């Protein structure tokens, strides 16, 4: 029988010979705790790497790192990336300086090594809510004014073959060439976010910000010369022009901008007024392009990449989504069936897909639309479980739903359910569905598992689809972490613990 080891008790606070009347400070306790965690860190990491899972889900959180203490006023980490398996167990957790997927290459490769070390089968499905929207296809179209073909049968083909096909060699060569060409074109790009003045050259791309918000761009356009563009003025702009003296509208007083892209249609233009009472918004000028006068102080220089970034839609697929973890996803898709072929094992979270439509909750058809959108996405199979149909079945159903509900007006306001921004996002949703980034994988890993029976004797199930459980995990961390004000070392120790 083992002897019970007695440890000395803490001395009384009044005992000046031991603790001298002082209690341990928070910094001291933090140091002791972090030191203990560092000693047992190998065991903690070993436990995490011993977990398996054929379904993984990952997501970034910016709120966790926002509660970290800054060092010399600078933020050390931008995001916390967490990867869970289908049992909601933490499989990977990384503090990253940015949300760039390239920051996750090493952790994912380490995960692959742990899978191989333990003899586990590699994951067959990975869920994310942020398929990086900007691949070489989009960048090439902006900077090179050219399209880059990326057929799925080549992109997701067998790149581990001893000898690549001629199509694969051409595919890789085009990637290398386009990347270099984009870099060379970026060198010649003009500086952005610079003040605009009468000395700024004409035809310079500028971005419009409001006086109250310098973060979100309201519109993009090109500086134009007043004398050359007078005959092309919009009726609203021409009316404003005629009411003012021409001397007050020369290039030294206000800038004439040809708007080519509107991001916030409701932006109020303070120089204009409707019926001397109502303010004028960007949407009152009609469809782009149109001309408008602005004060110089609300304009900044811009580039085409800013228009591309502000138009980014998280539902667009990144052509390089599988390159982030080239050996993590096992490619077992049966490509013999075109109808059931899913080109990527990295799937978009369907719940986030539904939330991407910026619909007004006050619209009379809001609730009915989302109920039918849900029923179109999640269809009951013969076993009574919901599944997302393959693209050839899902695309016609969602397209019919959008075409029917999109133009329906609200009974109170008269506005349609889909505005211009919603129509753009709806097209991207349909494109994602067509490419197979939303549908469940035929003959893939089971998404439902039995949790046990409830009090009435009915079986309850847990669903592994989507990244909602990752967000719930992050919220639990934030609730316990928000009041600590921890530095990087303590944060890493708490997360490991």
Answer with the one of 302, 328, 360 that is the final residue of a domain: 302
Average pLDDT per consecutive 10 residues, the chain (497 residues; last block may be shorter): 64 65 74 88 86 86 82 81 88 85 83 84 81 61 68 72 85 82 76 81 82 71 76 64 50 76 78 63 79 81 66 39 35 39 70 85 88 89 83 89 89 86 87 83 80 86 83 83 78 84
- Residue 375 within any structural domain of the chain: no
Q: Which residues contact 274 (CB under 8 A, 6 or more apart)?
A: 280, 284
In a domain, 174, yes or no: no
Distance of CA 463 to the CA centre of its chain: 23
Backbone phi, psi, residue 441, to 5°: -80, 125
Final residue in a domain of this structure, among 302, 324, 339: 302
- Report d(CA 237, CA 260) in Å as an integer: 15
Q: Residue 247: what pLDDT? A: 42
Do the domain assignments include residue 115?
yes
Is 162 part of a structural domain of the chain? no
Residue 354 within a domain? no
Q: Say what the pTM is.
A: 0.59
Do 209 and 119 lie in one domain? The reply is no
Give the separation between CA 56 and CA 83, rounded to whole angstroms. Answer: 7
Residues spanned by the domain of 245: 205-302
276 half-sphere exposure, CB direction, 13 A CA radius: 1
494 closest CA partner among 25, 58, 64, 52: 64
- When computed from its CA atoms, the radius of gyration of the chain, rounded to whole angstroms, is 29
In a domain, 484, yes or no: yes
**Residue 432 domain flag:** no
Per the structure, the count of domains in the chain is 2
Instruction: Report DSSP letters for 373-430, one per residue.
Output: HHHHHSEE-TTS-EEPPPHHHHHHHHHHHHHHHTTPBPTTT--BSS-HHHHHHHHHHH
Domain final residue, candidates 252, 284, 302: 302
Sign of CA dihedral 235, 239, 244, 245: positive
Residue 408 tokens, joined:
């329906």
* 222 domain residue, yes or no: yes
């Amino acid at each position: 029988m083992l002897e019970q080891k007695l440890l000395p008790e803490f001395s009384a606070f009044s005992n000046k010979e031991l603790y001298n009347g002082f209690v341990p400070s928070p910094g001291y306790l933090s140091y002791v705790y972090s030191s203990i965690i560092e000693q047992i860190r190998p065991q903690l990491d070993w436990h995490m790497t011993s977990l398996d899972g054929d379904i993984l889900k990952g997501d970034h959180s910016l709120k966790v790192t926002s509660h970290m203490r800054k060092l010399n006023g600078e933020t050390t980490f931008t995001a916390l990336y967490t990867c869970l398996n289908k049992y909601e167990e933490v499989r990977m957790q990384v503090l990253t300086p940015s949300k760039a997927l390239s920051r996750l290459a090493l952790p994912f490769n380490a995960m692959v090594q742990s899978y191989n070390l333990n003899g586990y089968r590699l994951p067959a499905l990975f869920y994310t809510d942020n398929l990086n929207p900007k691949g070489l296809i989009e960048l090439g179209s902006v900077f090179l004014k050219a399209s880059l073909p990326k057929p799925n049968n080549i992109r997701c083909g067998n790149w581990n073959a001893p000898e690549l096909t001629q199509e694969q060699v051409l595919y890789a060569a085009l990637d290398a060439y386009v990347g270099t060409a984009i870099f060379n074109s970026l060198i010649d790009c003009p500086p952005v976010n610079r003040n605009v003045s009468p000395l700024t050259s004409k035809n310079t791309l500028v971005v419009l910000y409001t006086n109250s918000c310098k973060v979100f761009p309201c519109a993009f356009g090109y500086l134009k010369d007043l004398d050359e563009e007078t005959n092309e003025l919009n009726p609203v702009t021409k009316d404003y022009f005629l009411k003012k003296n021409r001397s007050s509208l020369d290039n030294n007083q206000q800038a004439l901008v040809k708007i080519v892209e509107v991001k916030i249609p409701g932006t109020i233009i303070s120089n204009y007024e409707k019926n001397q009472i109502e303010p004028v918004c960007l949407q009152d000028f009609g469809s782009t392009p149109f001309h408008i006068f602005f004060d110089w102080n609300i304009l900044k220089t811009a580039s085409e990449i800013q228009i591309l970034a502000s138009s980014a839609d998280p539902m667009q697929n990144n052509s390089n989504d599988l390159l982030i973890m080239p050996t993590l996803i096992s490619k077992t898709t049966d490509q013999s069936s075109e109808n059931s072929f899913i080109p990527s094992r990295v799937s978009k979270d369907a719940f986030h897909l539904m939330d991407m439509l910026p619909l007004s909750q006050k619209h009379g058809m809001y609730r009915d639309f989302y109920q039918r959108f849900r029923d179109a996405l999640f269809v009951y199979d013969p076993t009574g479980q919901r599944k997302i149909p393959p693209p050839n079945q899902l695309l016609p159903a969602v397209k019919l739903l959008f075409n029917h509900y999109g133009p329906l007006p609200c009974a109170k306001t008269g506005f349609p359910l889909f505005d211009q921004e919603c129509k753009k996002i709806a097209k991207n949703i349909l494109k994602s569905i067509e490419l197979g980034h939303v549908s469940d994988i035929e003959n893939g890993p089971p998404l439902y598992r039995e949790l046990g029976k409830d009090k009435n004797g009915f079986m309850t199930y847990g669903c592994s689809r989507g990244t909602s459980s990752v967000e719930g995990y992050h919220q639990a961390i934030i609730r316990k972490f928000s009041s600590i004000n921890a530095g990087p070392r303590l944060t890493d120790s708490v997360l490991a613990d």
